[in-house]
Amino acid sequence: MKAVKVPKPFEIRIEDVPEPEVRAETDVKIRITSGGICGSDVGIWNGTNSLAVYPRIIGHEFGGIVTETGKNVKSVKPGDQVTVDPVMSCGHCYACRIGRHNVCSTLEVLGVHRDGGFCEYVCVPEKNVHKFHTKMDEKMLSVAEPFTIGTEINRRGQIGKGDQVLIMGAGPIGIAAMQCAKRNGAEVLMTDLVPSRLDRAKRMGADRTVLIHPQGQQGKDQGQELDAELAAFTGGEGIPVVVDTVCIPSSFEQSVQLASPAGRVVVIGLKNQPSRITMADITKKELTIVGSRLNCGCFDEVIEGLEDGTLHAEEFVTHVFPYYEVEKAFQMIREHPQEVLKAVITF
């Protein structure tokens, strides 16, 4: 079968690899129809993803159609449209025992630590397979995974009806988190450096948007401008929930500064650079600061949202390429990132 493989940084190939077989009683074999390209895939390609092991068949956002199952599989059958949770956990460490398998002590992710779903077929355990109940466009079967990231962010931030939320960054994860927050009944203000991204965010459901000007741009005081917008948004109380999808030290620092007393801050960044945050900034406001990584049992909720129309996959996917043009897709993302929300490759 054909597979998209990154043998080493800055090299991507279409290779012939053995087609997987159903071996275990709980295995599910899936014909892949589509895969979404994530920033972490780009990081594997350009050598900036420190978690990746080479060579690697990339892809952790993927879905397709069941073709075969092990004899003990009960939840899906051949012909079903499905998506795949790429999180692989041990099941017995402390995090797994308390139901937090997404931060398992020996966590592995398909497409990063193990070969992923940018190929014609995969075999995965039944527990990682989630079924669509209404017929979906085949090129959309990969979009559930990024929305599970948004759902996990909402769960970790305890975002619900009546909450006012600032989401910093209007890229794919910011948009997914925004739509999940709107589905939960929250109001959302989004910020970004790129006007076109904010225009798209508004079309896709954001209540307000604020353009952040690059540091050092003459005549702009972005801090005062954002403070004024947040004051108008919250009636002067300050923002109760801040989600940082920019994921740099300065954005984390700003999240803590902007959060209201008793506020919540959700952090998703994996960078190792330290931030300059004092204890007093946290203690005086008694902030709750939480990390959010991958997803923990979010797929069924996301599928429900995609099927009932409260999550909008058709607007989320902006570019589609056949798998053999994957290098073209990567170049598009690298050279014109402001134009791409989610690029999908099809098999």
Q: Is the pLDDT of residue 287 over 60?
A: yes
Q: What's the angle, vertex CA 278, arms to CA 277 and CA 283, rounded to 5?
A: 115
Provide mean pLDDT across the span 289-302: 98
pLDDT for position 218: 44
pLDDT tens digits along 114-164: 999 999 999 999 999 999 999 999 999 999 999 999 999 999 999 999 999
Q: What is the DSSP letter of 101?
A: G
Q: Is the pLDDT of residue 219 over 90?
A: no
According to CATH, the topology of domain 149-291 is Rossmann fold (3.40.50)
pLDDT tens digits along 231-250: 999 999 899 999 999 999 99
pLDDT tens digits along 25-41: 999 999 999 999 999 99
pLDDT for position 214: 78
Could you tell me the residue ranges of all domains in the chain?
A: 2-143+317-346, 149-291
Q: Is the pLDDT of residue 173 over 90?
A: yes
Provide mean pLDDT across the span 40-56: 92
Q: Is the pLDDT of residue 8 over 50?
A: yes
pLDDT for position 221: 57
Provide mean pLDDT across the span 330-343: 95
pLDDT for position 341: 97
Place of tokens 């006007």: 195
According to CATH, the topology of domain 2-143+317-346 is Quinone Oxidoreductase; Chain A, domain 1 (3.90.180)
Residue type, 209: T
Q: Is the pLDDT of residue 224 over 90?
A: no
Q: Cα dist. 112→15, 88, 208 in Å?
A: 18, 11, 35
Contact 64, 33 (CB under 8 A): yes
Q: Order the strands of the 11-16 sheet from edge to edge.
A: 11-16, 2-8, 56-57
Beta bridge partner(s), residue 32: 64
206 class by beta-carbon count within 10 Å (0-12 exposed, 13-18 middle, 19+ buried): buried
Task: Please indicate, yes or no, whether the overall pTM of this predicted structure exceeds 0.75.
Answer: yes
Contact 236, 161 (CB under 8 A): no
Torsion of CA 342, 147, 125, 103, to 10 degrees: 110
Q: Is the pLDDT of residue 223 over 90?
A: no
Q: Is the pLDDT of residue 318 over 60?
A: yes
Provide mean pLDDT across the span 206-231: 79
Number of Cβ within 10 Å of residue 168's Cβ equals: 24
